[in-house]
């Protein structure tokens, strides 16, 4: 997207080398210590000057062109938010818990409230994550969504014999974003599956505790580096 970079790493990436490619010497990296929450941190350019730091949250919003936002993933979705006109950007980590607690909606609400944005100007990219066919959850998770969401849960598919449900995280977040006021045409969804792409991605559901992690990044490109 114009003046911005949205990245998602592959297996075996070299973090120090990647930071050099991102012109790290000119920026700071804000990292999340993720806790599967709906907590979103607001990064202001007048705080934590020039130093990298980590915040216990599952999302970060920024208007600071000197910052790179980073989250980590191993099936859960990276969701990027960007208002190019007003130079406000955000990145969140959303698994089933973050999705249940509507972290995408909280992020949008905070962006609009703090920076006086119009929802029509915000573009959203839902990055690689686990696919519908390979993400099975228990009936108790379905019941949590049913009690908390005021939406038709079309992104669940029941397997009555096993008392399980398949959950489409990408579609769930798209429906939440549309209900929150983002035009459908402003939402872009990757069709890449972390589970089904063992040569490209780690997957916790596929590999268990031995799974590594991918990193997602969003940052503004300097016009005069």
Q: Domains of the chain (ranges plus CATH)?
A: 4-131+169-220 (3.60.140.10)
What mean pLDDT value characterizes the chain? 92
The per-residue pLDDT for range 39-98, each reduced to its tens digit, is 999 987 655 556 788 999 999 999 988 899 999 999 999 999 999 999 999 999 999 999
Query: 155 near 167, Cβ under 8 Å?
Result: yes
**Angle made by CA atoms 93, 76, 195, in degrees to the nearest 5:** 155
Q: For residue 168, give both structure tokens.
A: 């489409």
What pLDDT was estimated at residue 2? 81
In the block, tokens 């969401």 appear at 149
| Higher-confidence position of 37 and 22 | 37
> pTM of this prediction?
0.94
Q: Among 34-48, 137-151, 188-202, which is the least confidently predicted range?
A: 34-48
In the block, tokens 């970079």 appear at 5
What pLDDT was estimated at residue 12? 87
Q: Which of 117, 123, 129, 126 is nearest to 4 (CA)?
A: 123
What pLDDT was estimated at residue 174? 97
Query: 59 near 107, Cβ under 8 Å?
Result: yes
Distance CA 113, CA 192 (A): 32
Q: How far is CA 6 from the centre of its chain?
A: 11
* Residue 126 burial (C-beta neighbours within 10 Å; 0-12, 13-18, 19+): buried
What are the backbone angles phi and psi of residue 8, rounded to the nearest 5°? Answer: -145, 120
Distance CA 189, CA 48 (A): 33
What pLDDT was estimated at residue 134? 96
The per-residue pLDDT for range 143-188, each reduced to its tens digit, is 999 999 988 899 999 987 678 999 999 999 999 999 999 999 999 9
What pLDDT was estimated at residue 225? 43
Distance CA 195, CA 202 (A): 7
Q: How confident is the model at residue 222 (pLDDT cuts 50, 70, 90)?
A: low
Sign of CA dihedral 94, 4, 174, 196: negative
Q: Do β-strands 88-94 and 59-62 pair in parallel, antiparallel, or remain unpaired?
A: antiparallel
At residue 223, the 3 state secondary structure works out as coil
Q: How confident is the model at residue 131 (pLDDT cuts 50, 70, 90)?
A: very high
What pLDDT was estimated at residue 159? 83
Q: Which of 14, 128, 31 is nearest to 73 (CA)?
A: 128
């Amino acid at each position: 997207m114009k003046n911005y970079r949205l990245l998602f790493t592959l297996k075996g990436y070299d973090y120090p080398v990647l930071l050099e490619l991102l012109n790290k010497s000119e920026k700071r990296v804000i990292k999340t210590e993720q806790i599967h929450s709906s907590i979103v941190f607001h990064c202001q350019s007048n705080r934590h000057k020039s130093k990298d730091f980590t915040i216990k949250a599952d999302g970060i919003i920024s208007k600071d062109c000197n910052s790179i936002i980073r989250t980590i993933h191993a099936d859960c979705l990276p969701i990027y938010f960007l208002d190019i006109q007003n130079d406000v950007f955000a990145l969140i980590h959303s698994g089933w818990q973050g999705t249940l607690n509507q972290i995408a909606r909280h992020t949008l609400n905070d962006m609009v409230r703090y920076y006086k944005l119009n929802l029509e100007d915000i573009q959203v990219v839902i990055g690689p994550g686990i696919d519908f066919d390979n993400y099975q959850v228990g009936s108790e998770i379905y019941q949590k969504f049913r009690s908390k969401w005021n939406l038709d849960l079309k992104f669940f598919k029941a397997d009555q014999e096993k008392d399980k449900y398949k959950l489409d995280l990408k579609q769930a977040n798209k429906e939440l974003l549309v209900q929150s006021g983002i035009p459908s045409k402003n939402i872009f969804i990757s069709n890449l599956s972390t589970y089904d792409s063992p040569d490209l991605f780690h997957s916790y559901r596929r590999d268990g505790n031995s799974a590594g992690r991918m990193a997602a990044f969003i940052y503004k490109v300097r016009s005069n580096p």
